[in-house]
Every structure is written in structure tokens, then in C-alpha cells.
Copies of this chain bind each other. A is one copy, B any other.
């Protein structure tokens, strides 16, 4: 197996891109990453996308973006794993480069959601849940997470206000990210007074639907320095799954899929949570942040919220998370978000995170979750 590195990154601003089509968004991120890697062509293009069928009436997005980018003939496929689609695309790119079948692979995550009405968006997102046992009964992504959050509060004695630090921290960090959607501070008071979506989840617990695309270029580490003087090594890339329906989980408050995915990644990299300098976690909802911190080993069971309350998730804390704004404030273009996480981790490891730079960041971990814990992709990246 070959060592793999990221030699280029690209991203579009996250927002409401009503004037740009799906293919344009994907292309802009791809073109930026190719330029960053000083590369004209790749051996394969793997595109992560969750909702192009339901929201843009378009499938075969792999071929479509290859076509628009002028990469005629190239191997190009779409990967779908709900909210984990983008990191899943990188996982398959990693396999192709690590195994020696490709030298250069572009992994794009792209999503275009805001052209549609909120009800259509919600229906599309609910396709990530269990259709027969959840969505058909009226459960949505928000209400499923509300059930988890309510159970968490009941089990461990937290109040809704205790979840504020996740959103406050994300917004504080987004201010310095030129690609973020909501570059403004929010206060704990604003968090407490936000409009409810599905109690106890209110507007600031939930990450906003958005349009955007992000891309990384993978190459064998042995070739990486021909293209960049700041390669970032992929120390580990792992996928694990759990049941799609929440009712079938071993334990509602343990994201087993996230734990298995993290354990696989730690084992492959030969590191543990204490070695990680920053953690771009899946903050689709504040409850997901808490459960992810616990599943990945950064907090004991029931202590994820406490970690946040103690300020340990901030820049300078024990384990900085959502360092460029996270899904909450950078915005959450579902099937693209996993590659935004990875692009931001690379910025940190390159020392290009500006005012949000995590000092001496050497090891970053990202975790991208699909379907409230059903599919979990963990990556561990290293400055070399």
C-alpha cells in the first residue's frame, strides 16, 4: 500500500448560489484544486453528492462534472452516503491511490439545495433516514435529532441552553473564514431565544441548508512534493456503518458507527485521541457534535456537552472543533460538507488558517456522518 497525500484543495463560498448550476459549483471547486496542485488532468474523478436527483433532477453527476471541466474520457463516478457522501468520495479516491490503481484522483463534494422550497429540501434530507420505518411515519432529519437531543438531556441532566457553546464557537470561527455562509457572532442569549424547529432543537442547533462544493486532489506521497511544498498526508481513511433506523440502534446515545469508524482510523494511523490537534466533526445538529465527541473518544459518555461548556472545543482549547465555522456557520451543503471539513483541516495543517490557526497543528481528524450515524467516514491528516 502506498502512502497518500493531498496536493491541492479548492472550495466555493457556501451560500445561496441561485445563479450557479450544480455543474458549475462542482467545476469551480475542482478547477481551484487543480490550480492549487498545478495539475491539468487526473486519472479519476469521484464526486460525492447526496441530493442532486431530488433537488436538481440530475443524476450521473460524476460524468457531468468531468464533461463540464473538459476532462473528457476520464473515469468519473458519483458516490452517495447521505450527509457523508463527500468524505466517502475521498475514501474511494484514497483506496484508488493507496492501492496503486490511480496516481491522481480529484475528490469533489457538491450540493445545490437552496433553489427548492424548504418542504422539498426536508423531504430530500429525510431520504437519508429509514424510509419505511422513519420518513414514512413523518419523521424528518430535524425531528430524529430532536428525539436524540431530548433523550440526551433526560439521561444526563443537561438543559437546552447547555448546547449553546457548539453554535457560539462555530459562529465565532466562521467570522474569519471567507468561504463561510454566516460570518457573524451569536450570543448564548440569541441561542436560547432562537425559533424552535422541533423541540428541543431550535434554529441555532441546526446547520443551514446551502449550496457549495469542495475538492481535494490526492496523489502518492512519493510524488507529492513535485506539486506542492505543503503536502498533507492522509494517515487514515475509514468507513463504518450502523443501522439506518434509530429504533434498531444498540444504544440511542452511542454512535456505534462513529466509534467504529474512529477506532479503525486510529488503528490505521497508530495514534489516539490525545494526539489529535483539531477535530472537524459533523455538527449538523448540536446533539451530533456532543455524540461525535463522545464516540470518537474525545469525551466520556455524557460528557460531550460538558467539554463544550468548559471551553475545550474552542481555538486554544483541548480539542478545537469546527475551526472554520463548521456546518453550523460555514453552512451545510449536505453531500459536499465532508470535503469542506477536509479542505479546512488541510488549511490548518498547512498553516493557512489565518486568525483561526491552531498553533503547531500536526494531526487533524475529520468525521463526516450520514443519516444520523448510519454511515461514518473518518480521516486523519498529518502535516509532513
Contact = CB atoms under 8 A, between A and B. Distances in A.
A60 B59 CA distance: 15
A64 B244 contact: yes
Contact of A53 (B21, B53, B240): B53
Interface in A1-34: 1, 21, 23
A1 B100 CA distance: 7
A147 interface: no
B241 A127 contact: no
A88 interface: yes
A132 interface: yes
Interface string A238-264: 111111110010000000110010000
A76 B127 CA distance: 17
Given A123-B57, A131-B57, A375-B62, A78 B77 contact: no
A239 B374 contact: no
A38 interface: no
A127 B242 contact: no
A98 interface: yes
A288 to B, nearest CB: 15
A59 B49 CA distance: 11
Contacts of A132: 21, 23
A64 B241 CA distance: 9
Given A66-B241, A240-B75, A257-B73, A60 B95 contact: no
Nearest to A123: B57
Contacts of A59: 50-51, 80, 82, 127-128
B63 A370 contact: yes
A186 interface: no
Contacts of A54: 53-54
B130 A64 contact: yes
A98 B98 CA distance: 11
A58 interface: yes
A101 B95 contact: yes
A237 B123 CA distance: 37
A42 interface: no
A271 interface: no
A243 B77 contact: no
A74 B240 contact: yes
A60 to B, nearest CB: 4
A58 to B, nearest CB: 4
A358 interface: no
B131 A58 contact: yes
A236 B330 CA distance: 43
A144 interface: no
Contacts of A21: 132
A100 B257 CA distance: 23
A71 B98 CA distance: 25
A67 interface: yes
A334 B110 CA distance: 24
A123 B127 CA distance: 18
A210 interface: no
A329 interface: no
B80 A77 contact: yes
Interface in A216-246: 238-245
8 contacts: A58-B131, A60-B81, A71-B241, A74-B241, A77-B91, A77-B375, A98-B101, A99-B101
